[in-house]
Amino acid sequence: MRTLTWDPEKKILQLIDQRVLPARLEMVECRDSNGVVDAIRLMIVRGAPAIGVAAAFGMALAGWNYPTDDPDTLRTIVQQAGDLLRKTRPTAINLNWAIGRMLDVMDFPGLTADKLRHRLEAEAIRMAEEDVEINCRMAEFGASLIEDGDVILHHCNTGSLAAVDWGTALGAIRLAHKQGKRLHVLVDETRPRLQGSRLTAWELTQYGISFDIIVDGAAGYFLQRGDVQKVMFGADRVAANGDVANKIGTYMLALAAEANRVPVICVAPSSSIDLQIPDGSYIPIEERDPSEVLDLEKNGEPVVPRGAPARNPAFDITPHQLISAIVTEFGITRSPYDQTLAKALGNQCLSNNPARHSGEQENPIQ
């Protein structure tokens, strides 16, 4: 099941509600752009690739829901929707990337309002299909780094739920398992929203992949014991020098892995790479509501004193020196990332993908 699906007849975006997993599998319907804004802000949909594509459909919905025959007015309405969507999650560059693509398809003279609506919808659908193709190619490259018998320590959630389908780091693990490699995954809880224990563990259960949930603070213990062969995670933004912004706790995990000589592998699509910023210090870090930290309960009772303060950064920056490889749909890059990432993105681009021009879907995973 895809994380998000589009109903072309009803013009409705359907999303898996990731707030209620693993207890329930429920869908949320977004009928306008404000619904998509709320879905991203409330983390009904999450994961950098997924929120980028969701934002694209949000802009398409803005076009379909505004009753005007004036193309210039429609462009303004769609652009305003894009501005609102852009503000929902500041760290993930995929939002800017997707919104930029949607704005580009409107930058064409002589289009009627109705043709603009169809172009916006078609571009959002194209992005969704491309996301699946990109994830499948990343999985091929990422799986090649996984050996039979590996124990992999995984942070946050990077599977189908973080994308349209397949996912990034967990997509590579999923393919390696499908190839017959014997694997075991140590799943960080990923506090405070517990994307690891709620979402990654749920996905691994669906795939039949062996795993154990561990508290985030236990990662160093297992790394020091020599129980882990790989550390894998995704990215919300990658700077030009290879610094990675990812879910809070990634930096500490990478430090512990480096101290114990365990390879650290980041798997992320090219849309997460921001060559416009030189290093991670330029990446804005989202701070979320302290209630996500303070409202935890045990046996129905709060775990913090009444009135206690909290800080809740959602992401941290892992310096490129701690990362052994960055995997994109274009291949495996290694240090020096300021050269290899630019080369990979410069030599390869989706516009050069024959599948996109022919209308065929390139999917190496069958």
Residues contacting residue 238 through CB under 8 Å, at least 6 positions apart? 244, 245, 266, 268, 272, 273, 274, 326, 341
Classified as helix, coil or strand, 190 is: coil
Q: Catalytic residue, from 188, 236, 274, 316: name it.
A: 236
Q: What distances in angstroms separate CA 279 from CA 23, 245, 257, 321, 342, one per listed residue?
A: 39, 10, 21, 12, 13
β-bridge pairing 325-328 and 331-333 = antiparallel
Q: Is 236 a catalytic site residue?
A: yes
Classified as helix, coil or strand, 19 is: coil
> What is the torsion angle, in degrees rounded to the nearest 10, for the CA atoms of residue 322, residue 251, residue 137 and residue 1?
160
User: Can you say whether the dihedral through the CA atoms of 220, 221, 223, 225 is positive or negative?
Assistant: positive
Q: What is the DSSP letter of 272?
A: G
Alpha-carbon Rg for the chain in angstroms = 20
Q: Find residue 331's DSSP bridge partners.
A: 328
How many Å apart are CA 312 and CA 66, to the nearest integer?
A: 37
Catalytic residues: 236
